Amino acid sequence: MISLIIPTTTKNRNYTDSILKNIKEIYPDVEVIIEENDNVTLGINYNNAVAKATGNKIILLHNDMFIKPGFIETMDKHIIKGRITTYTRVEPPIYNDTYPGKVLLDCGNDLETFNKQKFLDFNIEESLIDGGSQLFFGCMKEDYIGIDGYTFKMFCEDDDIHLRYKVAGFEHKVSNAHVYHFVSKTSRSTSNFQTIEMNSNRNFVRKWGFRNSQYKVKYDIGFIVNNCSQQLLEILEQQIFEAEEDSYQDDEETLAELKQVRNEYQSGYYVTLEQYLSKD
């Protein structure tokens, strides 16, 4: 049995109600776990919902996704033990990048403009190919390792969980099973979300030792700083970036990436290590 997992927030109840109605019209007996808690992160909402699921297979959905007949049957066939199966998102051309698991088709940007029939008429030939990313997947419930909603309030938690699955030896596949995804259009446009994204990028580097945009071998050395403050931690990380730049003088791509990370760290209030150590 498959359980559908949908985290949501109070401000998105209109979308959630519409998505639930769509699911129940097609699959009246399917178990849908909706987790609404504005006081925890997206990842923790997902984890809490999965814990309540009774199915032996789970599919993580967003609260702005329409499914169609055949979606559950195809995913059920493609989800097996030891595999993370990403479903394909059909999205309006808000962000024009495409890759395995994402195709563009303009069926509307929101509930009011949604052309449901156009989506129903669209089909993808049955396939199961290598790939997979973000929180758009299904797996055996016993294989679910949990989203790190503590390190990442939002952003980067998807890259983190897929990396952990890869380290654990899981197979990653993309299914032709598809949904229509309206896509969040405001997340990165406000200063609040930009701050959350910046902090998540920082935490990803702290956790993995490299940027989520370009996976690299992590260093096998480290150091311990007793009584370290947040400010000192960020300063020491700046020193590491400078040391990395010295070791990548012939790698322009990596140097550009390091420069980008350093610029993110230097946004807002910033002091150097010398200035920090000179404080009374």
For residues 79 and 85, give the distance between their C-alpha atoms in angstroms, rounded to a whole number. 6
Q: What is the pLDDT of residue 258?
A: 61
Q: What share of the chain in percent tops pLDDT 90?
A: 45
Q: What is the pLDDT of residue 33?
A: 96
Q: What is the pLDDT of residue 171?
A: 94
Q: What is the pLDDT of residue 172?
A: 94
For residues 258 and 244, give the distance between their C-alpha atoms in angstroms, rounded to a whole number. 8
Q: What share of the chain in percent tops pLDDT 70?
A: 78
Q: What's the average model confidence in pLDDT over 216-244?
A: 68
The DSSP annotation for the chain comes to: -EEEEEEE-GGGHHHHHHHHHHHHHH-TTSEEEEEE-TTS-HHHHHHHHHHH--SSEEEE--TTEE--TTHHHHHHHH--TTEEEEEEEEE-TTS---BTTEEE--S-SSTTT--HHHHHH------EEE---TT-EEEEGGG-----TTT-SSSSHHHHHHHHHHHTT-EEEEEEEEEEE---SSTTTSHHHHHHHHHHHHHHHHHHSS-TTS--PPPS-----TT--HHHHHHHHHHHHHHHHHHTTT-HHHHHHHHHHHHHHHSSS---HHHHHT--
pLDDT in tens, 21-65: 999 999 999 999 999 888 888 889 999 999 999 999 999 999 999
Confidence check: pLDDT of 225 > 90: no
Round the average pLDDT of the chain to a whole number and report it: 83
Q: What is the pLDDT of residue 250?
A: 63
Q: What is the pLDDT of residue 189?
A: 56
pLDDT in tens, 104-146: 999 998 889 999 999 999 999 999 999 887 889 999 999 999 9
Please give the domain boundaries of the chain with CATH numbers for all domains: 2-181 (3.90.550.10), 191-277 (no CATH)
Q: What is the pLDDT of residue 260?
A: 67
Q: What is the pLDDT of residue 155?
A: 83
Highest mean pLDDT among 3-12, 55-64, 184-193: 55-64
| Residue 59 and residue 27 in contact, taking contact as beta carbons nearer than 8 Å | no
The band of 206, judged by pLDDT with boundaries at 50, 70 and 90, is confident
The band of 220, judged by pLDDT with boundaries at 50, 70 and 90, is low
